[in-house]
Structure formats: C-alpha cells, structure tokens
Amino acid sequence: MPPIIEVRHVTRRFGGFVAVNDCSLKVERGSITGLIGPNGAGKSTLFNMVAGNLSPSSGQILLDGEDITGVPPHKLFGKGLLRTFQIAHEFSRLTVRENLMVVPEHQAGESLLATWVAGGRVRENERAVREKADEVIDFLKIGHVADELAGNLSGGQKKLLELGRTMMTDAKVVLLDEIAAGVNRTLLNDLAGNIERLNRERGYTFFVIEHDMDLIGRLCDPVIVMAAGQVMMQGTLDEIQANEAVVEAYFGGSPTGHATTPNGPAAEVRA
C-alpha cells in the first residue's frame, strides 16, 4: 500500500526566498511521524502545502496515492485529511458539545427545505451526531466541560477539543501543529495519551510538528529533521540526538567544529 502522505520534490518560493527546497518525504500509514527542525527550516510552510493552505511552486503531494497538489482544505477534509493549529480555532460562543456537532459534513439540517419537509430525518440525523459527540467526549474524558462555552476553556482543553473534532469524521491522517504550545504538563500528558490511543485503537495516522522533544520522544517514530527547506535526516529520536550535523543545524558549531548548545557540548537536540 502507498504511504498515506508522500511529498515529491516540493519547492515553495515567496518571491526570491525559497522556504522549501526540493523536499521529499513519506508518512507511513498507521505511524506517528514527527517533523522537527530549527526556526525557519520550512516546517510550517510544508505543513501548509500538505494541508492545502498553500500551493507548491513545483513538485507533487499525494494522499493515499492520490495527487492532492493544490487541493484546498475543505476538499481535503472530505478526503480524510484534517489539521489542528498551534492556536486553537474553536467556535468560542458554542459549547464543547456544539463545537463537535458542527463538524460532520452534509447534515440533513443544513438544508432549509429538509427542515420543512423531512423533519423526522433531520431530528434523527441530529440525534446520531449528538451521540457521536458524546462518544468523543467520553473518550477524551472532558464530560465536565461538555456544556461549557469553548471560549472559556484553558489552552490545553482547547487542544483536546481540536483533537475531538478530528474524531467526528473518518480521518485518514491528522496534521498536528505544535500541540504542546501553551499547554500545562498535566493536560499535555492527557493529550499525548489520547493521541496514542487513537493511533493504537482506531488506526489514526498522525504527522506532528513539535518543539517539545520530550513529547516527540514519547509519541513519534520515525522523526524527520528539516533544515534550510530540505529533509536533513530521518530516524529515531536517539539517532537524531546522536547526529552532530543535526545538532549543528539547530545550534551552530563551536570554533573547534564540535556542536555546542548555549550551555556547553550538545548532548541532545532541543528545539
């Protein structure tokens, strides 16, 4: 079977600046694949192209063997590719349950005519969507905030809600953009546990940009390193942390040629 995501020789230019340069990588089906690299490496630009928010200047992107180069996000949603954001995009004046219920496509109640002539079908559809939302709430253990306005949630709770919204449809792959940002360690542990459960129990594939190396080490295998718009290496986190060229790409080298962190010799990569 083909990789769930394949990026083939993708380049993205912004005027004379090349943000992603002839980049190729694969995300295997059923994996939790990490994407790390120093600031300016091109990670977010690559994510935006895979998610349909940007079109490549050249190259090709495939989803489950299908060419999706330049396909907009709403069409990718229908193909099973979903994305979360570093800053959560909740409907702040809807409850947690309502935020979940608006996700599924083609609900009967979206048609004004159906509400007039097929009220029974509309109510049955809404009942099924509500049951699905309650299942997601139970899975994520967020029942205590199910009827809270989403705008009142903490940063970590909003990230859990974003993860829950991916569960309201048949996702093939979920792009997670810096899920640890602004999340306390307790909620981050809950979030990581839910990602692991979705991967293990429901077969979700995750592609993760993250600067928290502890989280990358817990969740991701393999880990892909980007630098200067290209893939530098791929491997386990231990292999990456042992690679001096990778550490130098993050922190630069000392006059002796040995990679250093601001606190001395680089024992491990920290984004």
Q: What torsion do the CA atoms of 84, 89, 93, 94 make, to the nearest 10 degrees?
A: -20
d(CA 143, CA 96): 9
Q: Which residue intervals of the chain are DSSP H helices?
A: 43-50, 73-78, 96-101, 112-117, 119-140, 155-166, 185-202, 213-219, 237-241, 244-251
The architecture of the domain spanning 5-90+171-265 is 3-Layer(aba) Sandwich (3.40)
Per-residue pLDDT of the chain (271 residues; tens, 9 = 90+): 889 999 999 999 999 999 999 999 999 999 999 999 988 899 999 999 999 999 999 999 999 999 999 999 999 998 999 998 877 788 899 999 999 998 876 565 555 556 555 667 667 878 888 999 999 999 998 999 999 999 999 988 998 999 999 888 878 899 999 888 888 888 889 999 999 999 999 899 999 999 899 999 999 999 999 999 999 999 999 999 899 888 887 766 433 333 333 333 333 333 3
- Nearest one of 29, 19, 37 to 233, comparing CA atoms: 37
Question: What is the spatial distance between Cα 93 and Cα 226, in angstroms, rounded to a whole number?
Answer: 38
So where are the chain's domains?
5-90+171-265, 94-152
